[in-house]
Structure 1
Amino acid sequence: MVYPQQPMVKTKTIELINYDKLPAGQNATVAVMSYSGYDIEDALVLNKSSIDRGFGRCQVVRKNTIQLKRYPNHTKDVISGHRLDENNNPIFPHKAIGSDGLGEVGMRIENGQIFANKCVPTNAGESVLGNDAQNGEARESHRETPAYYKGPEPSYVDQVMMSTSDNDQTLIKVLLRQTRRPELGDKFSSRHGQKGVCGIIVQQEDLPFNDDGISPDIIMNPHGFPSRMTVGKAGVLNGSLEYGTCFGGSKLEEMSQILVDKGFSYSGKDMLYSGVNGECLQAYIFFGPIYYQKLKHMVLDKMHARARGPRAVLTRQPTEGRSRDGGLRLGEMERDCVIAYGASQLLLERLMISSDAFEVDFN
Structure 2
Amino acid sequence: MRYDVIVIGGGAAGLMCAATAGQRGRRVLVIEHANRVGKKILMSGGGRCNFTNLEVGARNYLSANPHFCKSALARYTPAHFIGLVERHGIAWHEKELGQLFCDESSKQIVRLLLDECAAAAVQIAVNCSVEQVERGADGFRLRTSALGELSCGSLVVASGGLSIPSLGASGYGYQLARQFGHTVLPTRAGLVPLTLSGAPLDDFAPLAGIALPVETRANGQAFRAGLLFTHRGLSGPAILQISSYWQPKDELRVDWLPNLDALDYLSEQQHTHPNAELRTALAGVLPSRFAQRLCERWLPSRPLKQFRAQELKELAARLHDWPIVASGTEGYRTAEVTLGGVDTHELSSATMESRKVPGLHFVGEVVDVTGWLGGYNFQWAWASGHAAGEVV
Task: Work out which structure has the larger RCO, using CA pairs closer than 8 Å and 6 or more positions apart in sequence.
Answer: 2
Task: Determine which structure has the larger helix proportion and give its number.
Answer: 2
Fold equivalence (TM over 0.5): no
Who wins on radius of gyration, i.e. which is larger? 1
TM-score using structure 2 length? 0.21
